Each structure stands twice: as C-alpha cells, then as structure tokens.
Structure 1
Amino acid sequence: MAPLIPSQAELDRRLIVDINPETVSNIPSTDFPGHWPGESHEWSLDKFINSFKVDFHRNEQFESSFSLVGLDASIANAFRRILMAEVPTLAIEFVFVNNNTSVIQDEVLAQRLGLIPLKGSVEGINWMRWFKRPTEDDPESGSSPSDYNTIVLRLEIECTKNPNAAPGEQDPRKLYKNAHVYAKDIVYDPVGRQMDYFTGDNAIQPVNPEILIAKLRPGQKISMEMHCIKGIGADHAKFSPVCTASYRLLPDINIQRPIIGDDAKKFAKCFPRGVIALEPVTAEEAAKKGSGYEGHDGEMKAVVRDAFNDTVSRECLRHEEFQGKVKLGRVRDHFIFNIESSGQFDSDFLFLESVKVLKLKCARWKRGLTDLMR
C-alpha cells in the first residue's frame, strides 16, 4: 500500500495541541520516525536549520522573553532545567563565626548569608576553578582554599549608641549606629590573582546592597569570615542563577463561526485585554453567501488580534453561545521562554551559557558512545 500523503491542512492540524473544556487532546509526540503515516520525522540538520528560529520579545538586563520555534519539547525542557540547575555561580558556602552576640543564632545567620545573591566579573568567575568538598570517608580529601577556588568576604560590625540622636527619638536607625545590618556591610577581601579580575565595579559584591541581614542593639556585634565557592543549582538552590526560568506553548485561537454583536463583546471579555478585537462587518462579507455575516453589515464581529498574550483560561468554552464557534489550542513546537536572572548574570547571557552546557553534555555523550563502539 502506497504511503498516505498528508495535506497542508492536516500538517497544520498536527502542530496544534487541542485545548478542550476539561481535557487536552492531540498530544502525541513525534520523537520517533513513522509516527504519522506518510510523514517522516527523521532528524535532518538541513530541515532543522530551515525551520528553527529565535524571536526576542523583551531583552532587559535581568529579564528576557523570547520564542524558540521549530524545537522539540525535550530540547526546550533541557534548556530550562540547565538554566535552573547547571549554570555555575558564586555563593557563600562556609561561614567562620568569630563573634556573634546578636539575637540570631549562628546557623540561622549563616543560612541567611548563603542565600544572598552575589555578582562580580564574569571573566573572573569563569577563571575560577571548582572547590572539591571533603567526603565523610576521607575528611582530608577536599581542596585547600586558594585564590583560584575561594572568594573571601568579611562582615565586621558593632552597634553603638548615637550621641547625636534627637531627644525622644524612637527610630532605632537614628537612635543607634549600625542598628540594621545590610548586605552592603559585607566587605570583599581579594587575595592573590583575584586582584586581576575582581576590581572596581567588577568586585564581588551583593546584587542588592539593601538586603537586611540582622538587627542589632548597643553592645551587640557580628564578626565573621565567609568563603564563597562555585556551585550549581543541582547542589543547592542558592547557586541557581535564575529566579524563574519557564516556558509556555504559543496559544492558538481559531474562530470557526462568526461571533457578532453582544456575543462578540462578551467573547472579548473572556480573554485578557488585547487578545480579541472588535471590527465592523464589511459590505463584502455581508454580501457573501455562506459567510455567516449575511444581513449584519456594520455590526461588530470578534477577531483574533494577538493570541500571544492569551493565558488559555478556557473561559470562552464555558458559555453555551460559543459552543462550536471557537477552538482553542497551543502550537506544539513554539516555546515562549521567560528568564529572570537573580542578578549575577544578564538574562540573555544565561541562555547562551545553557547552550554551552548542553553542547558539553552532547560532546561528553558522543565521546562515551565512541568508546563504547571500540
């Protein structure tokens, strides 16, 4: 039997994941050849180059949004997981407490310090090597702190009374000096070759200097030394370089039968602002037989203006007057990414780093496969 040749309409239908009132349908993956009769899904570099594209929607320093079109879900999800868990960053790992007379316990204070996002020279962070932690079986097996694997920070602060405070002052920030300890009070102590990379604005420092660490009162003091190392989010969330890294499929809204008049206004309210627009029915549409607009010249009709901003709430599917008139879906190979950096790296730089990590993974897998075939 000769293979079936699908029409373009059928190919377009296969690209849409159907969104029903309570279910999702048409979800089969095409991750193996021969899934659809008459259509080959064998991977081809030329086909991928011709179909893949990247569209940027917003590119700010710490937040970016862009679309990856023509990609398989497994690859898109790999980028998301790498962004959250495998792009290396700096964070405080070891805290040596010399003196802490605040009301916060040592271990709680150390935990708070470890969660402060740090930033510095990207070149310097790439220059740094990994710090190997000692194992339980061999406590002497770990790395020794050095300029190429450890960043040293210090926090030396003491609360005292402010002799210049106004009589009757109640605000502790005016009544005392150093009543509040902020991230900006942490001081970077460069050693060795770190002076070549982490200087000036590129010095290691908290992303947000106004992060509140502790509150002190006269006579209370904090004195500690902190060691920062490179790590990944898979080890601890404090090493994750992103606040959020997510994607969604492009919404698809297909108005199959005319929606006119008051129904059109109600239909537009079922979607976020700007997704559905109201336009007048033209004389040509009203004169065309079978269009559904006969006798409605000049009335307002509902049209899709911008499906990109739709949240696919399915609200329109809950109203009887819209039954059979609209079909909701999502484009299965159009992924809209949103990346929000924690501040150590720019958001677009983070995605490029995730691509590098995936390339290294592929190269490592390829070497392993070559060794296996020998």
Structure 2
Amino acid sequence: MNTPPVSNGPAEQREDGHAHGEHAHEHAHEHDEHAAHPHAKGHTHSNTHGHSHNHSHGGHHHHHAPVAGHGRAFAIAVVLNVAIVLIQGVYGVIAHSTALLADAGHNLSDVLGLLLAWGATWLTTRRPSAHYTFGYGSTSILASLVNAGLLLFACGVIVTEAIGRLMNPAPVAGLTVFVVATVGMLVNGFSAWLFMRGQKEDLNIRGAFLHMAGDALISAAVAVSGLVILGTNWTWLDPVMSLIVVAVIVYGTWGLLRDSVRLALDAVPPGVDLQRIREYLAGQPGVTDVHDLHVWALSTTGNALSAHLVIPAGHPGDAAVDAIVFTLREEFAMQHATLQVDLGTTHHHCSLEHPHSH
C-alpha cells in the first residue's frame, strides 16, 4: 500500500481538526487561493493508473511575471511602434526604400507580438478555474511561440520584396531613409529599455525585448545605408541592407523559437538541472529510490514537478515534506511540486519514464 503523497506548500489548516476519509473525485488545483481561504479543508483523492495516487494538497505558491510596470511598458511600446509603422510605411513608399518598408513590416509584426505578449502576461495573473486547474500561464508560452512565427513570416515577406528590388532597381531618397530610420532607432531603443528588467526571467518578456532591441539595431543599419546612398547613389544597397536585416532577425529569433517549442512540448525548462533535482530528492533521509520524476513549464516564469519517493519506513511527516517542497521552490525554481510517498512494496513505475532515467 502507499502512504498519502503530498503536494507543494505548507500543510493546510483543517476545520474539524482531523483528516478526511479517502475518496475519489475530480477537483481543481486552486493555486494561490489557499491563502485567501485559510480554513480550506485538506483532502485526498485516488486516481486509476494501475496503482493508487493519494494526494494531500497544501498551500500552493506560484511566482508570476512581475506584471506591475510591464503593463505600462507594453502600452507605451505599442503606441510608439504603431506610430513608427505609419511613419516608416508612408515614407518608405515616398522614398522608394525597401529597407524602410522592411523595417515598417517588422515593426508591424512587433505590434502584434507585443499585443500577444501583453495579453499573455495579463492572463498569467488570472486565478485557476475548474476547467483550467493550472491557470492560464501556458498562454505566455503560446505567445512566445506565435511571436517567433510572426517574425519569421515577416522575414519571408521582406526577402521577397528585396529580391524584386534587386532585379528591378529604383531610385532611393537617402536623406528621407536616414531621418526616418534614425527616429525608429531611438523609439525602438527606448522600447527595448522598458523590457530590459524582466527579459532574463521571462521568455515572454524576452520575446518583446528581442523584438525591440533587434528593431533598434536594424533601424540603425537602415539609417547608415540611407547616408551611404545619399553620398554614393548606390541604390542596390537598400535591398541588400533589407536582406541583412532579415539575417539579423532570423538569428535573433531562432533561440526564441527553439525555447518556445521546447516549453510547448513540456520539455525540461531552460536552466533547470534535472539530475541535481534527482540527486537532491534521493539524498533525503529515508529515501531509497526516486522515480516518475517529471518537470515541465506551467508558464514562461513558473515550473512544475511531480515525483515518487520510495520511503520504506513510511511517510516522514508533513514538516519533512514541507521542507523538501520549500527547497524545490527556492533552490530549484519549482513553483508547484507534487510528491508521492511509496513504501516500495510493489513495482509501479510510470510508463512514460525511461527505464534508465534513474
């Protein structure tokens, strides 16, 4: 038989002073709502996976992206980029500049990407529901994935236009290109600065930062090409510069796309050392084996973990388990951890686990 497993957070306070009997039922993980309901009753439940999983739920602690400040950053960046798109689009046509039009198209994809990232950041703060028991944090993963897709689509459009202009050169107003691109560089540089604070911790914010920082560099390159065209009348430089712009965008987007796809496929999040976690759990007093260890991302800022701890002596007590969960959260960035304690009297490894993963 298995002793009741435990999930993250301190043990819940029980109204009636004793444990409730085991019963099977569906339930929602109400993250962050335990604090609002200090008298929520602890409970266990049984699942059917060939053996019994009994979960006793404690308070859940999740750390979402620091939205305060980012909401304002998104609003400012969206307004500024809409203005830049209009200016670059109009003057790109007037100056016959594909590089300027390419930058305008890229900025347009940035506006859409910023709106997606903004919406996803807001959704991560919404409380879980009966249907979305982990909340809406995974929308930030989807937003970063769509952002990468938008950037690559914009690149395809730019390449098509640039090749057309190389085959059919047109006069380019170098001074207009220089002035408009310089304005774009300043605006995008300021927008990138707005997202610098959170881009190392949040893949979604990182997507917004890469959009803005890339645009600032691209606009600077287009401005330089405008000056060169003004002095040399090398009109071919404009479409060539737009192709260089594409190369820069693709290079900067590849990492975002790779990480987004991995998180969407429930891969171990970047920066998480699964072997260290396994060694930590295996080193706890009384633990003779660790199996069914799974780690995945709940959002671009929050991770989850589930594992079976084989403890032949039986459940070590809530305090011991709470200490393990605390360490998983503080040292290994596991905002949600669910642990099941097994006696090791039966063989019930998860069918998803690789036979040589432990």
Per the normalisation by structure 1, the TM-score is 0.24
Q: Which structure has the larger Rg over C-alpha atoms?
A: 1
Could you say which structure has the greater relative contact order, defined with CA pairs below 8 angstroms and 6 or more residues apart?
Answer: 1
